Structure 1
Amino acid sequence: GDPAGSPYPAVGPYKIVIADSGLPTLDELTGRIRAAHAAGRAVAAHCVTREALVLLLVALDDAGSLPGDRVEHAALVPAELAPEMARLGLRVVTQPGFLAHRGDDFLRDLPTQDHQDLYRCATFFRAGVPVALSSDAPYGPLDPWTVIGAAIRRHTPAGRVAGPGERLTFSQALDAYLAPPGDPGGPARRVRRGTPADLVVLRTRLADVPADPEPVRAVLVGGHLVWDGLGAGAAGG
């Protein structure tokens, strides 16, 4: 990849959309994974349903996995598949924020036995599968605090709880957002001398953030102020 701070984009994982409207054959999917790995690229597989995930796991078991291979979305995951995902070295990039926006629709439209499989988080932590949280904006809520809140509370808009056993602690949810972009689910970035000054300045103590509806004082990107919570405006780059 490109060195840190480079103005040019790096080549990331190879995207594979396993669409339920037209699932690939096992041989086709295995071949695409092998080709990506042969080029030195991990795969980022779009998997929403359990059928897509099972197909991916079988294909990876045949093709072999590469560090950095990941599942995106993982909207419905039976708990028994989490250890297999860990065995294959997969990581997950998921969006529990959908529960805060569309959770009541999910609970209404899905069979009751599927409710516990929705946007799992804690199960992956327990199985040793690295987890990153994301927004999937514009389809999901962009605000990271909304996604973090959904991960720790699991509340639908109507106040129902979707998968209480999948709740993360605030620290787990925050760290799942703070991993380096090239290492989703990896060790959380910390403020250290010499690192890029991509910072969120809080108006309250970190421990009090979950109860604060507007915890952010300012946002800096590359050391430049891009959002000022006091209304002073953003500074130019």
Structure 2
Amino acid sequence: MSNLLIRNARLVPLGAGESTPDGPVDIAIARGVVTGVGPGLDRPNGVEEIDAGGRWVIPGLWDQHTHLAQWTLSSQRLDLAGARSPEDATRAVAQRIADYPDLPVIGWGHRSAGWDREVTVSELDAVSGDTAVVLISGDGHHAWLNTTALLHFAMPVRDSVVRETEWFAAYPRLVTLVGNDGTSPEAYRRMLDEAAGRGIAGLVDFEFGAGIEEWSERWVQDCDRLRIRAATYAHMLDGVIAAGLRTGDPLPGCDDRATMGPLKIISDGSLNTRTAWCCEPYGDAHKLEYPAGQPNLSGAELREQLGRAHAAGLEIATHAIGDAAVREALAAYADTRARGSIEHAQMARRDDVRRMAELGIRASVQPAHLLDDRDLTDKIWGERAERCFAFRWMLEDGVELALGSDAPVSPLDPWLAMAAAVHRSADERGPWHGEQALSVREVLAASVDGQPTVGAGSRGDVVLLDRDPLLRDLDAADTADLGAALRSMPVALTVVAGRIVTER
């Protein structure tokens, strides 16, 4: 941790109705904490000083939901986000094999829920031969493998995709097919620097299959750029408990910038795979084995995991996308008195939103998902769309909001997430259920990990911006302009624990 003095910075008020000095101030950071804010602060001997030049200063941003190994690897994968049909995907696979005949094909990003038919393994076999092919869906909840890949993973040969729990169990074995060059310390350093360039000071890592010891190893290999909270999963919980690690404890071999995060529980599936657990059937339920989706855990199993983690001092992050999954997760939190978050909370009933507030459970949400899911939600959830991504309800009812990306499902870009929550549209159409939109101040406050306006006692994580992030020079009613301005927000400097991580 370093000491730093920032001169001539403009404070950005995060609290509603809060006021800040009209002119620039100085900010002193010592031992990772802001120790003073005001004009004309003295500079102690040996302390680095930088001139903000009147730029705006906010607390460091956080992405509260990432899968960092997958995001790091995604730049090396075949991008299938633009595939509009199975034929588009197989043509791209055939071209990749023609270009690189000696390498397996790992694809990422297709969204088959919008396609007009189910895919088959045999059609992938027809274009791939003996080359292993693994095409991971854009939501990460299923993969389309060819027969060579299925045999490599010792999985039963079938003519359909691999979904949910079976895929989650197989994913960590992907390294046996492609190696781990994409997740080397060098690759992580590039990824962390890219995140810092967007003003990010901290990340919650939900990488499936990764052990906390991996972050301990990276930390001493110059990957100590940002704050990291490393989650664990049920199959690794015994080791975490045996090590005596509680949420917030520094990871072994790390300082307090890398800490133990929550236990992650995936209680249901996703919209794209029609496996999110809902109170009512999907609009195309006649095509589905489970017309309303299904839970991944029984109620007893869910409560056992929450209770065990809570007793060991861990918070719990429960993935729940469908409204039935949200309701059951909240009931389990109430029964076990566990603490933590609902991850996604994509569709919820109003009384469950209020219950979330009563229980003090955070809503960890990813607003950019609504840009991808808008049309599919209208198609298969119909009138229930009005209670999807219900951010306004959440704030009105007193739920703590924490924004993230779910990268690489959505880009690891906090400004995109904020823009999506403000404008709720990615094209020329107007806001989708604009009654659930948030203000610029509200999304900024939900992106700084609960930190207040930069002041004495706050973390020494600050970001300098070339533009007022509250966009007070724009019409607050023109959400399209606000969204565009947020997406292009210029970041000049990112400081974590008093250390300059990146500057432009």
TM-score bin (small chain): 0.7 to 0.9
Note if contact 2:344-2:365 (Cα within 8 Å) is conserved in structure 1. yes
Match of 2:361 among 90, 107, 112: 90
User: Residue 30 in 1 paired to residue 303 in 2?
Assistant: yes
Q: Greater strand percent: which structure? A: 2
- 1:127 pairs with 2:397: yes
Q: Which amino acid in structure 1 is aligned with residue 492 of structure 2?
A: R
1:82, CA displacement in angstroms? 0.9
Counterpart among 251, 263, 283 of residue 14 in structure 1? 263
User: Aligned residue for 2:384?
Assistant: 114
Residues 1:214 and 2:489 are matched in the alignment: yes
Q: 1:42 to 1:141 in 2, by over 3 A?
A: same
Partner residue of 2:120?
Answer: none
Secondary structure at 1:140's aligned position in 2? Answer: coil
Q: Using the TM superposition, name which of 20-29 and 192-201 deviates more.
A: 192-201
Instruction: Name the % identity.
Output: 28
Task: Say what the alpha-carbon RMSD is for the aligned residues.
Answer: 2.4
**Counterpart Cα distance in 2 of 1:83 and 1:76:** 14
Counterparts of residues 109-188 of structure 1 (less than 5 Å): 109-179=379-449, 187-188=450-451
Q: Tell me the CA shift for residue 52 of structure 1.
A: 1.2
Which AA in structure 2 matches 1:69?
Answer: G
**Counterparts in 2 of 1:207 and 1:29: CA distance versus 1, 3 Å:** closer
| CA separation of 1:109 and 1:176: change in aligned 2, threshold 3 A | same
Kindly indicate whether the alpha-carbon contact (under 8 Å) linking 1:98 and 1:141 is maintained by their aligned counterparts in 2: no
CA–CA distance in structure 2, aligned partners of residues 2 and 57 of structure 1: 26
TM-score normalised to structure 2 length? 0.40
Deviation, structure 1 residue 13: 2.0
Partner secondary structure for residue 10 of structure 1: strand
Residue identity matched to 1:143: D
Bigger drift between 9-18 and 41-50 goes to: 9-18
Label 1:59 to 1:224 Cα distance change in 2 as closer, same or farther (>3 A): closer
Size of the aligned set, in residue pairs, is 218
Residue 57 of structure 1 is matched in structure 2 by 330
Pick closer, same or farther for the CA change 1:128–1:207 going to 2, 3 Å: closer
Q: Distance in 2 between matches of 1:137 and 1:155?
A: 19
Does the 8 Å CA contact 2:268/2:325 hold for their aligned counterparts? yes
Asked if the contact 2:249–2:256 (Cα under 8 Å) also holds between the matched residues in 1, the reply is no
Q: Indicate how the Cα distance of structure 1 residues 110 and 218 shifts in structure 2: closer, same or farther if over 3 A, else same.
A: farther
Q: CA deviation at 1:23?
A: 2.5
Whether 2:39 is the aligned partner of 1:39: answer no
Match of 2:454 among 177, 191, 197: 191
Q: In structure 2, do the counterparts of structure 1 residues 147 and 25 end up closer, same or farther at CA, with 3 Å as the change threshold? A: same
| Alignment partner of 1:202 out of 451, 465, 480 | 465
Distance in structure 2 (CA, Å) of the matches to 1:161 and 1:216: 26
The verdict on how the C-alpha distance between 1:207 and 1:38 changes in structure 2, with shifts beyond 3 A counting, is closer
CA contact (8 A) 2:340 2:362 kept: yes
Runs (5+) with no aligned partner, structure 1 = 180-186, 230-237
Q: Which amino acid aligns with 1:45?
A: T
Closer/same/farther in 2, CA of residues 103 and 17 from structure 1, 3 Å limit = closer
**1:173-197 deviations in Å (ceiling 9; x for gaps):** 0010012xxxxxxx43432356554
| Greater RCO (CA < 8 Å, at least 6 residues apart) | 2
1:108 shift after superposition: 4.3
AA at the equivalent of 1:121? F
Aligned to 2:70: none
* Structure 1 moving runs of 4+ over 6 Å: none
Larger Rg: 2
Counterpart residue number, 1:2: 249
Secondary structure class of the residue paired with 2:422: helix
* Structure 2 Cα separation of the partners of residues 158 and 104 of structure 1: 13
- Would the alpha carbon gap of residues 160 and 31 (structure 1) be closer, same or farther in structure 2, given more than 3 Å must change? same
Letter in 1 for 2:343: E
Rounded to whole Å, the distance in 2 between the matches of 1:97 and 1:127 is 22
